[in-house]
Copies of this chain bind each other. A is one copy, B any other.
Amino acid sequence: MSQGNTSVSSLVSGSGVHEETACTVLQVLERVSGKWSIGILLAAMDGPVRFTELERRVKGISRRMLTLTLRNLERDGLLVRTVYPTVPPKVEYEVTDMARELYDSLQALTAWAERHLESIAESRRRYDAAAQ
């Protein structure tokens, strides 16, 4: 278990007030980056969800990645896993308060994205055109 974790890192040094910010924000991004974390959290925002239901809601996810990402989110305390010892088994995942706060904090990012989506798209068109 635990496939290792490199992804986002890098500490900045040498100029002004941003080192601490860098460190902290990068830690969050490590938490939240990866192809599926946000998607899963979002899919669980409206209440407890079962494994198979998540598999349905998060489009394109594989069984493997769903399990792996769920375990990580649980480990970080963003999701609570509850097993009902019935047969067939029933497992529910529920977001924690901390995860809801994270979701709220992401709104700022969402707003930024919405504001600049077209601007970014155009910048890319120009860049790609200039490079042929």
Q: In the complex, what residues of B have CB within 8 A of residue A61's CB?
A: 10
Closest to A26 in B: B38
In the complex, the answer to whether B59 meets A10 with C-beta atoms within 8 Å is: yes
Complex-state Cα separation, A81 to B16, whole angstroms: 22
Q: In the complex, what residues of B have CB within 8 A of residue A58's CB?
A: 10, 12
Q: Mark A18-39, 1 if CB is under 8 A from B, else 0.
A: 1001101111110111111011
Contact of A46 (CB < 8 Å), options: B16, B32, B34, B106:
B16
Residue A6 interfacial (CB < 8 Å): yes
In the complex, the answer to whether A38 meets B59 with C-beta atoms within 8 Å is: no
The copy count of this chain in the complex is 2
Contact of A13 (CB < 8 Å), options: B35, B36, B57, B75:
B57
Interface majority SS (helix, strand, loop, mixed), chain A: helix
Complex-state Cα separation, A7 to B112, whole angstroms: 20
A22-B38, A28-B110 known; A123-B59 Cβ under 8 A: no
In the complex, the answer to whether A101 meets B109 with C-beta atoms within 8 Å is: no
